[in-house]
């Protein structure tokens, strides 16, 4: 189990690929890299993706990037204890060193050392044949600087300490995962929906205030620690962001697309964002440790901490060990871990595969109906379809979440629906359409009773005015000492005026226990549907692996262009412009002969590039040619071509596609 290698170190035998390597001793890392096969280069760029971004021009640039301090440090941080011990041994020897010397000086087994050296060579931290090994200078200095590190001593292990395993029912693990996933997604949606209408202020530090966190925790029915984790989670997933002025936190436009997905798709976005958030090396290494234990659970958290410490010894012990413990806690809250074991969906996250299909098989299918009970509750026998859940949430209060959510109808919840524009008939029709049980009579009475009283007391703009259908109700309001600040003045048996604006009159009346509704000019009710705001979408980091095969081909093409450069075109001296007539003639001759040419080309950014191309057509000031670097046909402005020369390449014929066909000379 190694951070930079997909499979555990297994002491492979010498392969035909390695046996075919050149016996000529390279003088530099770049020269050694040129002698590697495409498969070896692919392994290097996959294990060290920073070298491939942006795509290097040629092998010299690959070697230069691989030897930089930042890149070497990144690679060393992902080496386990045993590989670091072998690298330290080589780094403390005078270069070049022989493999046999390293074997004799290392406390590890000879075969293990040989396999580790091969892996370090694959990573371009060590280069050269077995009888002349060199360590990249930055890696050698870092190895020497850690002479007091734990992995230098003779007690270094060849394998990580194995956590003590505990038997667990895998069926229960995945059932627990499914329940956790449902609750997590529902809480994430509830948080974002709530903040879309009542967004919290962004603090100067860039966070969320303690008061808002506590209020949200009460709304979600969880503690503040879980609420803070959920806020960080939806933020990492790009579902929560700041407004353009940085004043408040709001759901982003991406939230609306996320909300329309399935439960499994929504959870996948959250879990993947969590795994790739800061500290991802430790998070993913922790998941790999648990993956090796499957289907068993871990018996002691300290064993997992020790195993991750062996895998990533260069990272700060205190911070690393605390992050391992936090990872286990957060993974349990996510459903990645359940009952101290990695779930099936968590295993997909650990191996970098899509867990959506795995989760779809664990989660119950969405339903479009509820079971109405005589106690004014509605039980959803499974996760509700989004549209049904949204509408039901407008007229009933969510009482408990999970696979079988419970909603309760109250006078306040029904009144909220009426305030949002639901007529009583629409409430009855919705319940009849989506209930598999008869509508209880108490619920029918509740809806009708609230609807009968709803809208009797109305407030509109005059300064503000108040009117009611019941003069006795207005009498009571006028003598209510708690409402004296409204300065009500009766102008008719059912109408009173106030000097305050309508929205303030409504707020004061509601605070006093009354239920007024706003009224438009003409007497129609004004529906108070809350305005849902959105923040700009935050860019999500694209962590897809680059097309390494295409990058390797481009690097090979860059080396070919360098070999084909004319001897009188120095590396740094400006190249003389070839006359346009000569340039056109040379390119047409190459197209006719189906041969390759070397170009010095000034691109649109003003940079001088070199490339080998196979001309296909020259017409109207443009060259159409197959570009070896990009692997496809491209158009080049002839006036930007500064030099043309024959290339030391096999001629190619354009086949009309992006792939060239080779011809014999």
Buried b or exposed e, range 596-612, using 16+ CB within 10 angstroms: bbbbbbeeeeeeeebbb
Same domain assignment for residues 596 and 633: yes
Q: Report if residue 543 sits inside a domain.
A: no
CATH number for the domain that contains residue 642: 2.30.30.100
Same domain assignment for residues 210 and 343: yes
Same domain assignment for residues 234 and 214: yes
- Tell me the two tokens of residue 561: 């262009």
Same domain assignment for residues 314 and 376: no
Same domain assignment for residues 300 and 258: yes
Count the alpha carbons within 13 Å of 278 in the hemisphere toward its beta carbon. Answer: 3
Q: Report if residue 2 sits inside a domain.
A: no
Q: Report if residue 9 sits inside a domain.
A: no
Same domain assignment for residues 302 and 357: yes
Q: Report if residue 331 sits inside a domain.
A: yes
Distances (CA, A) of 471 to 341, 467, 478: 68, 9, 11
Determine the pLDDT at residue 461.
Answer: 62
User: Rounded distance, CA 492 to CA 497, Å?
Assistant: 10
Q: How many domains does the chain have?
A: 5
CATH number for the domain that contains residue 67: 1.10.10
Look at the block and give the residue holding tokens 């009583």: 424
Cis amide leading into 295 (omega within 30): yes
Q: Report if residue 182 sits inside a domain.
A: yes
Same domain assignment for residues 552 and 613: yes
- Its domain, for residue 61, covers 16-152
- Tell me the two tokens of residue 514: 């009354």
Report the chain's C-alpha Rg in angstroms.
Answer: 35
Residue 571 DSSP code? S
Same domain assignment for residues 333 and 184: yes
Beta bridge partners of 611: 599
Q: What is the mean pLDDT of each run of 10 residues along the chain (665 residues)?
A: 38 41 74 91 92 88 91 91 90 90 91 94 94 91 65 68 93 95 94 92 90 93 94 95 89 92 95 92 94 94 93 86 96 96 96 94 91 94 88 90 85 91 93 94 94 80 76 85 81 82 84 82 64 69 70 84 67 45 83 84 78 87 86 86 72 32 27
- At residue 559, what are phi and psi to the nearest 5 degrees? -65, -40
Closest CA to 250 of 566, 568, 2, 535: 535
Q: Report if residue 180 sits inside a domain.
A: yes
Q: Kindly give, in sequence order, each residue whose CB lies less than 8 Å from that of residue 321, ignoring residues fewer than 6 positions away.
A: 305, 308, 309
Determine the length of the chain: 665
Q: At what angle do helices 224-236 and 170-197 cross, to 10 degrees?
A: 80
Same domain assignment for residues 231 and 353: yes
Same domain assignment for residues 414 and 383: yes
User: Rounded distance, CA 117 to CA 107, Å?
Assistant: 14
Count of H-run helices and E-run strands, the chain: 27, 24
Same domain assignment for residues 227 and 340: yes
User: Rounded distance, CA 221 to CA 616, Å?
Assistant: 68
Same domain assignment for residues 27 and 64: yes
């Amino acid at each position: 189990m190694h951070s930079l290698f997909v499979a555990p170190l297994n002491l492979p035998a010498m392969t035909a690929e390695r046996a075919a390597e050149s016996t000529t001793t390279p003088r530099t890392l770049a020269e050694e890299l040129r002698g590697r096969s495409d498969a070896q280069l692919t392994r290097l760029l996959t294990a060290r993706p920073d070298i491939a971004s942006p795509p290097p021009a040629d092998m010299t640039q690959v070697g230069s990037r691989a030897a930089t301090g930042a890149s070497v440090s990144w690679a060393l941080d992902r080496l386990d204890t045993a590989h670091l011990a072998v690298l330290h041994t080589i780094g403390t020897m005078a270069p070049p060193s022989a493999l046999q010397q390293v074997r004799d000086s290392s406390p590890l087994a000879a075969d293990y050392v040989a396999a580790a050296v091969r892996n370090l060579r694959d990573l371009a931290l060590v280069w050269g044949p077995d009888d002349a090994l060199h360590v990249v200078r930055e890696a050698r200095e870092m190895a020497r600087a850690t002479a007091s590190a734990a992995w230098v001593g003779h007690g270094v292990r060849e394998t990580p300490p194995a956590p003590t395993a505990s038997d667990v029912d895998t069926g229960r693990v995945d059932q627990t995962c499914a329940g956790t996933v449902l609750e997590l997604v529902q809480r994430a949606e509830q948080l974002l929906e709530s903040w879309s209408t009542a967004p919290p202020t962004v603090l100067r530090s860039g966070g969320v205030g303690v008061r808002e966190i506590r209020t949200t925790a009460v709304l979600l029915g969880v503690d503040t620690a879980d609420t803070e984790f959920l806020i960080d989670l939806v933020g990492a997933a790009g579902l929560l962001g700041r407004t353009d002025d940085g004043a408040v936190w709001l759901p982003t436009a991406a939230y609306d697309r996320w909300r329309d997905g399935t439960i499994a798709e929504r959870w996948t976005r959250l879990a993947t964002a969590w795994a790739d958030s800061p500290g991802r090396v430790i998070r993913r290494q922790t998941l790999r440790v648990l993956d090796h234990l499957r289907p068993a659970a871990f018996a002691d958290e300290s064993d997992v901490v020790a195993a991750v410490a062996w895998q990533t010894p260069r990272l700060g012990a205190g911070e690393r060990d605390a992050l391992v413990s936090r990872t286990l806690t957060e993974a349990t809250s996510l459903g990645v871990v359940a009952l101290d074991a990695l779930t099936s969906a968590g295993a997909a996250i650990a191996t970098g595969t899509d867990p959506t299909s795995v989760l779809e098989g664990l989660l119950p299918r969405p339903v479009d109906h509820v079971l109405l009970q005589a106690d004014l509750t509605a039980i959803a026998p499974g996760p509700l379809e989004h549209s049904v859940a949204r509408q039901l949430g407008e007229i009933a209060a969510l009482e408990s979440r999970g696979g079988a959510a419970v909603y309760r109808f109250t006078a306040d919840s029904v009144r909220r629906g009426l305030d949002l524009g639901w007529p009583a008939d629409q409430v009855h029709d919705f319940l009849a359409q989506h209930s598999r049980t008869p509508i209880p009579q108490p619920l029918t009475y509740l809806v009708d009773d609230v609807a009968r009283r709803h809208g009797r007391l109305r407030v509109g703009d005059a300064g503000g005015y108040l009117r009611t259908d019941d003069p006795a109700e207005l009498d009571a309001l006028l003598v209510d000492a708690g409402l004296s600040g409204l300065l009500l003045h009766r102008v008719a048996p059912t109408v009173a005026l106030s000097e305050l604006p309508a929205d303030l009159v409504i707020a004061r009346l509601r605070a006093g226990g009354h239920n007024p509704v706003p009224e438009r000019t003409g007497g129609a009710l004004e529906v108070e549907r809350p305005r849902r705001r959105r923040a700009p979408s935050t860019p999500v980091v694209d962590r897809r692996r680059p097309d390494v095969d295409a990058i390797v081909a481009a690097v090979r093409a860059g080396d070919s262009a360098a070999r084909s450069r004319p001897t009188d075109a120095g590396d740094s001296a400006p190249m003389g412009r070839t006359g346009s007539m000569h340039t056109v003639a040379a390119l047409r001759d190459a197209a006719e002969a189906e041969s390759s040419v070397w170009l010095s080309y000034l691109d649109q950014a003003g940079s001088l590039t070199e490339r080998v191309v196979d001309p296909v057509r020259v017409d109207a000031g443009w060259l159409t040619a197959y570009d070896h670097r990009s692997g496809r046909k491209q158009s080049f402005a002839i006036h930007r071509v500064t030099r043309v020369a024959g290339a030391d390449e096999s001629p190619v014929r354009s086949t009309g596609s992006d792939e060239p066909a080779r011809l014999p000379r």
